[in-house]
Structures are given as structure tokens and as C-alpha cells.
Structure 1
Amino acid sequence: MAHASLHLCGLGICLLAALGASRGALPGEPFPFPAQSVRPYSLSINREDYHYAPKPRHLRPSRLIRLLGAAFEPFWMSVERPAGAGVWLTEEAAARSAARRDAGRPTKLTVQKVPGGEASAALLANFTTITRGFNISASPELVEGAARYRRKLEKEAEDLDLSSLPGDVAGAVREWLVRSATCGLRYRWMDLGPVFWPRWLRHTDCYRAGGEETCSFPSGMACRRAQVTHLKILAWHCWGSEENGVRRGADKVTPTVRMGALSKNCVWRQVPYPVVTACKCSCK
């Protein structure tokens, strides 16, 4: 049988499939994640870069919840240390871990409530973090991103001229092309330190969902970030001041932190924090 090359290019995705060439089934387990990170984050989480940390009185959950308001997103944020923090997990691995954890007991969600007895139970109930699994359907940004790039892949595969192949073979080729170029997300919970609130955020990154490091055939392309969205978190911001005591504004109190002869005004401010919400198969 003569070998024909199909070239699927567009939107940063290129695949070459040599029809008639032998190729084994893809392994079921995900490949070891590459050491090089594709993090888009720009905020430093090195504690040495921040000389003024908030004191316990500045960390009252009820006040911080009011400051962050509707920007608090339980899927992405946690006030307390989540289970498995610091470990990279994929959606599949998280689901397997949850299944093992739930074996022999009723299925239920584990939630972490924001501490702080001064806040009402009704208020705190709205600021819980679901820690079981990694279900992208819990995040509209991830659902929308995955669906968009899936549609693009399917359209590019459908536009290929495979009229020389039997219908069932052409369909199988298109499915294989889409499956080979589909990229997934992995995540781990990261501790941002005491100058950010919530201090635990879910970091997402790209990985090859099909089980191989490359997402093209022949190899050479990799899963890379294609879409980033910005969350809002609180950062403890300090600046110099010649005034002592407490400066009162129209709607807030700015505490003055005394450091020897130097006074610092400090306040919680909302800052943008980027997270990866979609990945695609592309060149460097």
C-alpha cells in the first residue's frame, strides 16, 4: 500500500500521519512530566521578597472575605492547606485517587471551611473549597477552553480530503488525529505564603493527555498553554510613610506597621493572578 502523508496544520497545531505505517496503541499511563515549566505567573512567592508580613489581626477571614467578595473562586482557591498539596495530579489521577479514598465508605465531598468564629456559618458556607478530584466541569473557564480547542481540532480534521479512503477508515483517521493532538491539564496546590490571601491556589499546567510527551507524529511538537485567565486574590501591600499611628480613609482603615524608625502603611489590595485554562499542541 502506498504511503500517503496527511498534514493537519492550523491554529498552531501540526500533525503528520503516515497512513499504512505501523503504530502501536498509546500507553494508558501519562508520561513523566517535563522539568521545564510553562508557568505564566509573574508574582513572586519568595518570602524573602516581602519584608512586611501581615499580623494575625490582619488575617481575620470575615474581613478578607468581604475584601475579596465575589472574586473568591472555590475551585481555584483554598484558605487552608488542601489534601495532597504540592503534588502534580491530572484529572484521571485525581479521579483514581478519589475512588481509592472513597472505597468502602459512602461517596461524599470533602470541604474545607474558612476558619474564623466571628463570621456567620451562612457566610463561611459560601467560601468552601472542594478538594476531591480535579473535575474541569467545576470551572467554567476550563470547560469553555477545552471545548473551544476540541472544536478547532475536529474542524481541521473534518476539512482533510480523505476521499480516497473507505468511510470507516477516514473516520478512524480523523478520530486518531484529534485524539493525538488533544492536550490535557494537570494541577497542584501551591502555597503563596502569608502576604497573599487565599494563600493556597491551584496551579494548572499542560500535559499530553494521550500518554506520550509529544502530541504530533512524527514527534517534535508539545502541549503548550493556549489560554490564560486572571483570578483576583489579595496581596499585602506596604509603602513608606512619615506619619505615625493609623490613617483613616473614607471606607477603610490602613494600619501603620512600625519598623524601628521607619513607618509603613500596609493594606490588602486585589491583584490579578493568571492561571492556565487551555492547552494546545504546537511548536515552540
Structure 2
Amino acid sequence: MQSMSVAFYYPSNDVEPFLHLRPRPSDDLPVLDLIEPPNSEFDPKEADLDVQILRKLLGRQYDPYYMSIEHPDPAMLHANCTLNGESNEGNRCKPPGPKPRWIDDLDVGTFPSGRKVKLSRKSRRKFKMWMWSLTHCPVVHSWKDLGVRFWPRWVKEGRCSTGRSCSFPPGMTCRPSRSVMKTFLRFHCQGWGKQHNCNWIKIHYPLIAECSCSC
């Protein structure tokens, strides 16, 4: 899987003549934390943080589902029932969304040899619910602060649950199966020392959108 990530290069720790943002192929998501230079001269000033102007620059690429201008409430985030124990009326863990067709197509009343197994309708339903919960791979979201040099400053990143196997018998794990690219503004400075010019530019930021059970 090829993805676009933001890469930064600084010639030295003392000076930062050029800030390069370039695409870099990577198999690793979410994006690693960026190492920022501490020099506040390269931070946006109050006049650079006009929300109306920045919203206009970003236009339709502003996505409130994945980004936030203000510090978001972490309580708004939740994973599916494989992590937080959400249950239905029967106290069974029920993943969100439609049930996969292959779950309904499972023939739990017949051995591979063709021999029939006596199972009640309730037992078959409970087994399929268990199999659905076992193999479902949630995207676990968390808000990440990108820092003052990004706008919007907060991004909702996704991770695949890795605390257990998602297959029976065990062996397979949840891995990213689909990503989306979201556009953010980056405060970009060029020039030496105090002789630098800074502007907001658009950058692409990859985010995990789906996870699947795979080898």
C-alpha cells in the first residue's frame, strides 16, 4: 500500500533556511509524530490565524469529521463493541454497521464431512454474533495535536486494534485496509535567519479509514 506522508528536513539544529514538505511512500500509518524546530520565529502570528481567511483558503477540503479548529472533546470518540463492550438487549457485543453477508451464509449446522449438528436457532444466532464480533476490526480514533503550524490544529487519527487475533483459529490480526487523504494548511517558511517569508500552504495527510482482518 502506498501512502502520502509529510516529511520535514532541517539542515541543522541552529538554523532552518528551508522547510521542505515532500511526499514520501510509506507502509506505516498513522503518520509518525513530526519533529518541529523550536524557533518561534517560524510560528504563525496572531494576524496569520484569522479563522475566516483560513477557512476560505481550505474551502471545501475542510472536513469537521477528521479535523477540529478548537480543542476537541475526547469523550466524543468511541470504538466499536470489540473494545468498549457496547451491548444489545441480549448483553451480546454487537459491532456497528450492517452484518457482513458471509456471517449470514455460515453453515454452522454441518461439519465439513457433511454430518449434521443439532443446534437450536438461538445457539446458531449466538455463534454467528460471536464470530462477527471476533472478526470485526474497528478503527480506534484519537485526537492528535499537530501544533500551531498546522491548521486546523487537531486531526482525528485512526488505528487498528492490535490487542488480539481477529481469526479462529488465532493467527490473523487487524490491519489497515483503506486510507483517506485529508488536506490541511501548513505554515511554511523560506529564507535565512530573519529574512524569511512565511505563508500557509496545503499539504496532504493520510488517515486510516478502514481496518480488516488479514495475515
TM-score, L = length of structure 2:
0.64
Please point out which of 200, 204, 213 is paired with 2:164: 213
Does 2:7 align with 1:75? no
Does 2:214 align with 1:267? no
The amino acid across from 1:83 in the alignment is D
The amino acid across from 1:279 in the alignment is C
Residue in structure 2 matched with residue 55 of structure 1 by the alignment: 45
Runs (5+) with no aligned partner, structure 1: 1-37, 97-142, 241-257
Using the TM superposition, give the Cα deviation of residue 276 of structure 1 relative to its aligned residue in structure 2, in angstroms: 1.0
Summarize deviations over 1:79-112 as a string: whole Å, max 9, x none.
1112239x9853568899xxxxxxxxxxxxxxxx
For residues 101-180 of structure 1, the aligned pairs below 5 Å read: 151=100, 154-155=101-102, 158=105, 163=110, 164-166=116-118, 168=121, 172-180=126-134
Runs (5+) with no aligned partner, structure 2: 1-27, 87-95, 111-115
Please point out which of 33, 55, 60 is paired with 1:65: 55
Which structure has the highest helix share of the two? 1
Please point out which of 128, 138, 141 is paired with 1:184: 138
Using the TM superposition, give the Cα deviation of residue 264 of structure 1 relative to its aligned residue in structure 2, in angstroms: 2.2
Identity %: 28
Asked whether the equivalents of residues 30 and 158 of structure 2 are also in contact (C-alpha less than 8 Å), the reply is no
TM-score, L = length of structure 1:
0.50
CA distance in 2, matches of 1:213, 1:71: 36
* C-alpha RMSD of matched pairs (Å): 3.5
CA distance in 2, matches of 1:95, 1:195: 38
Residue in structure 2 matched with residue 130 of structure 1 by the alignment: none
Using the TM superposition, give the Cα deviation of residue 237 of structure 1 relative to its aligned residue in structure 2, in angstroms: 1.8
- SS of the residue corresponding to residue 216 of structure 1 reads coil
